[in-house]
Amino acid sequence: MARTHARPPRSAGDRVRAAARLTARTAGRFRRAASHAFSASVTTTDPARHARPVRPAPRVPAFRGRFAGQGPGLPVLAIAAVMVLIVAMLGVERVTGLSVLPDRFIAGLRPPPKKFPVLSGSPPTQIAISSIDLRAAVHDVGIAPDGSIAVPDTARAQEAGWYDRGPTPGQYGPTVIVGHVDTTTGPAVFHGLKELRDGDEIEVTRADRKVAVFEVDQVQRYGKDRLPADQIFGDFSRPNLRLITCGGRWIGGETGYADNVVVYASLVRARDG
């Protein structure tokens, strides 16, 4: 048997030198990325982003003022120095495990405190919410003639409809699933949404047999003419879910109910079905 030698523990000096090397590499990547930020067109093949096309970055015209041709100037150099310092301190934190920067300086630079998976594209086939005893099939819906998201036919009122122009469950962005609250004969698929509470879990089974598990963040009710479109459809910070149905006072006619109930949920884990 070959003899093995234990690796000696790293000293504080070794850790600092490792942090310095990591900082140099990170700062180099940051500078290279910044040099291309205003000259390269931004493109993406991620199917999670097809609902929100990314425009090329605008070209920045050269500055022709008093200090043109005299270098970047003190303000620019000061900002660059601060950015390099922050990158360096993040490198030290990564190597040593010590927190050396105030939170207000690095908002958005550290990863979110709660990790989450990201799944490839696959349409939903079923939704289940045990807290309100809901289990239903999910089929695709598109856009209605008036430009709104279509809803399932009344003959399929016990099924939910996935908006097929948006992300699938587990992709970055809001997966939108809609459903009726009731019919002339009784409750429909999403009748119990208003009873959901923060922390309740929603399981969405996909065509690839993976199950995306979401956790309810909040349940809101809005007048149909006051839906916050950006809040509902514009959050691409992580994989999330929106369940939408009718609620509030019955008006009748083409309006039906006066309000919409919207459930906001975030992906917390995934498992095989």
Residue 4 included in any domain: no
For residue 77, the model assigns a pLDDT of 62
Q: What CATH number has the domain bearing residue 196?
A: 2.40.260.10
The total number of structural domains in the chain stands at: 2
219 plus 257 within the same structural domain: yes
Categorise residue 199: left if φ over 0, alpha if ψ from -120 to 50, beta otherwise: left
pLDDT of the residue at 188: 96
Q: Where are the alpha helices (DSSP H) in 37-133?
A: 74-96
Shared-domain flag, residues 86 and 164: no
Do 155 and 35 share a structural domain? no
Q: Do both 197 and 232 map to the same domain? A: yes
pLDDT tens series, the chain, 273 aa: 444 444 455 554 555 455 445 444 544 443 343 333 323 223 333 333 334 443 343 333 333 333 334 444 565 566 666 666 666 665 655 555 555 555 444 444 444 446 789 999 999 999 999 999 999 999 999 998 888 888 899 899 999 999 999 999 999 999 999 999 999 899 999 999 999 999 999 999 999 999 999 999 999 999 988 889 889 999 999 999 999 999 988 887 777 888 999 999 999 999 998
- Cite the beta strand spans of 88-238 per DSSP E: 124-129, 134-141, 160-163, 173-178, 182-183, 186-187, 201-206, 210-223
Asked, for residue 65, whether it belongs to a domain, the answer is no
141 and 89 in a common domain:
no
Same domain, 172 and 216: yes
pTM: 0.59
The verdict on 184 and 55 lying in the same domain is no
Same structural domain, 204 and 75: no
Query: What is the reported pLDDT for 196?
Result: 96
Whether residue 141 sits in one domain with residue 101: no
Domain extent at residue 200: 124-272
Q: What are phi and psi of 25, to 5 degrees?
A: -65, -45
Q: Say if residue 178 is exposed, middle or buried (CB neighbours under 10 Å; 0-12, 13-18, 19+).
A: buried
Do 93 and 160 sit in the same domain of this protein?
A: no
Domain check: are 76 and 179 in the same one? no
Please indicate, yes or no, if residue 213 is contained in any of the structural domains: yes
